[in-house]
Structure 1
């Protein structure tokens, strides 16, 4: 009997241990479940060399507690920027970002963790991670930051049948295209394009079309994967008419943006010509 009693006692102890473990597991799951993953959204960004830029990052804030923010650049040591317990902690900041990175401190409570970078360099391009931690939990997102050079285009007419498009400070070296009217092929013209070097590995662009006809619209497109400058021009008996636009491809479909910008410029020029 004593042996049976010991067996029953051991079984009961095992059952109790299992129950305790199950309860602990349930409690652990409950505690873990109270910590949610914060929704964080980073924004694809294109920056221009030597300009300032904002790398966008938004999140769901805790308006009653501190929201900690950490920015990192993938593949580099140290942090880009760190904000913790209401203070900026920059002891571990990567040397490349010292004095150039900042947050909009007054906007953190509204869920704005965007990072401002001043005097953008080519070396700043890369993948960045925005990490948010507060009483609600932790979340992060990555964004791609691309850097280039681009400026708007100016259009002139150095002779009666010649159109010239000029634009400065491009990187990488852009492609140049001329189109007629709504994209029709150009014939019986001569096109010459040059790329004079500029400072900081940038390049200027000058392209000329000779043999332009009166009252015909011509468009020069100076473009890279990051931006496009479009100049639309038309020689008339009243003189040269021009309009231009610079489009930066801060979107997922740069080709669509290209067509829209060209059509908008063509329409603008056409409406302007009807006023004579």
Structure 2
């Protein structure tokens, strides 16, 4: 018959083995990572009001298999009842679709096998702005990704020359931008700009530069917090050769709670 000391010793060995096994399993789960996860090529898109915008969402897998089966997708918008779009068992389900999106969404079922669950939102409105979440599930794995959609209005300016004045016009900008003329060397020039807003708050812009030199190149910068349009205009007699490049302000996709923690840590480091 085993002594009390042997029983205690055996029990301790069993407990050590049990706890070691649990720890190994926890570490394996923590560091292995998911087999698949949802991602987006642009988590902070800026949509041009009145135009279509693609909300990017796709499954990425860490396995060698590059295709997916039995894929279901649900798009939702924060603080909005119902769903933006539902797709289950090979069929779109519009039962719970919010009225704001009826007839304004397009899905691409033929691309689901590659894990593409992107959604096209047609004729973007200001009310579409906000946080969207794409939920994707498949036989190979699932995931979700959040996308912060922002809205603006922006158009490239047109240039004309008349009576010794170089005029630029852009008929759709929101929010109201700042307008700056520069010469070839980047020196700020004195231009004159007027704005006219419609009932939706969208501004049309007329900006003039006088005097100017024939064959010289001027830069017109139209900029708000979301979009910047930089146009190079070269005056060639009564014609203007132009080229416009748009750049967009990228917002951080980090959760607010994470940003708050980072700010707190930075403050602690600074104070210490």
- Pair 235,101 (structure 1): closer, same or farther in 2 beyond 3 Å: closer
Structure 1 residue corresponding to 2:84, chosen from 80, 98, 108 = 80
Instruction: Specify the SS of the correspondent of 2:113.
Output: helix
Instruction: Specify the SS of the correspondent of 2:196.
Output: coil
Q: Does 1:39 align with 2:37?
A: yes
Can you give the 5+ residue segments of structure 2 that lack an aligned partner in the other structure?
253-272
- Pair 163,66 (structure 1): closer, same or farther in 2 beyond 3 Å: same
Instruction: Specify the SS of the correspondent of 1:39.
Output: strand
Aligned partner of 1:125 in structure 2 is 129
Aligned residues of 1:155 and 1:231 also touching (Cα < 8 A)? no
Q: Does 1:219 align with 2:219?
A: yes
Aligned residues of 2:161 and 2:240 also touching (Cα < 8 A)? no
Query: Once the 2 structures are TM-superposed, how far is the Cα of residue 35 of structure 1 from its aligned partner?
Result: 9.8
Query: Once the 2 structures are TM-superposed, how far is the Cα of residue 247 of structure 1 from its aligned partner?
Result: 1.1
Aligned partner of 1:270 in structure 2 is none
Aligned residues of 2:39 and 2:60 also touching (Cα < 8 A)? no
Query: Once the 2 structures are TM-superposed, how far is the Cα of residue 216 of structure 1 from its aligned partner?
Result: 3.2
Query: Once the 2 structures are TM-superposed, how far is the Cα of residue 250 of structure 1 from its aligned partner?
Result: 7.2
Q: CA deviation digits over 1:199-258, x for unaligned, max 9?
A: 63311000111122344322111122332333333445x4443213141527579xxxxx
Q: Does 1:202 align with 2:209?
A: no
Aligned residues of 1:57 and 1:114 also touching (Cα < 8 A)? yes
Greater gyration radius: 1
Aligned partner of 1:170 in structure 2 is 173
* Counterpart mapping for 1:52-63 below 5 A: 52-60=52-60, 63=67
TM-score (norm 1): 0.72
Runs of 4+ aligned structure 1 residues displaced above 6 Å come to 32-35
Q: Does 1:183 align with 2:190?
A: no
CA distance, structure 2, for counterparts of residue 60 and residue 217 of structure 1: 46
CA distance, structure 2, for counterparts of residue 221 and residue 136 of structure 1: 49
Aligned residues of 2:68 and 2:140 also touching (Cα < 8 A)? no
Instruction: Specify the SS of the correspondent of 1:109.
Output: helix
CA RMSD across the alignment: 3.7
Q: Does 1:148 align with 2:152?
A: yes
- Pair 102,215 (structure 1): closer, same or farther in 2 beyond 3 Å: closer
- Pair 87,35 (structure 1): closer, same or farther in 2 beyond 3 Å: farther
Query: Once the 2 structures are TM-superposed, how far is the Cα of residue 129 of structure 1 from its aligned partner?
Result: 1.0
CA distance, structure 2, for counterparts of residue 241 and residue 50 of structure 1: 28
Aligned residues of 1:151 and 1:169 also touching (Cα < 8 A)? yes
Query: Once the 2 structures are TM-superposed, how far is the Cα of residue 185 of structure 1 from its aligned partner?
Result: 3.2
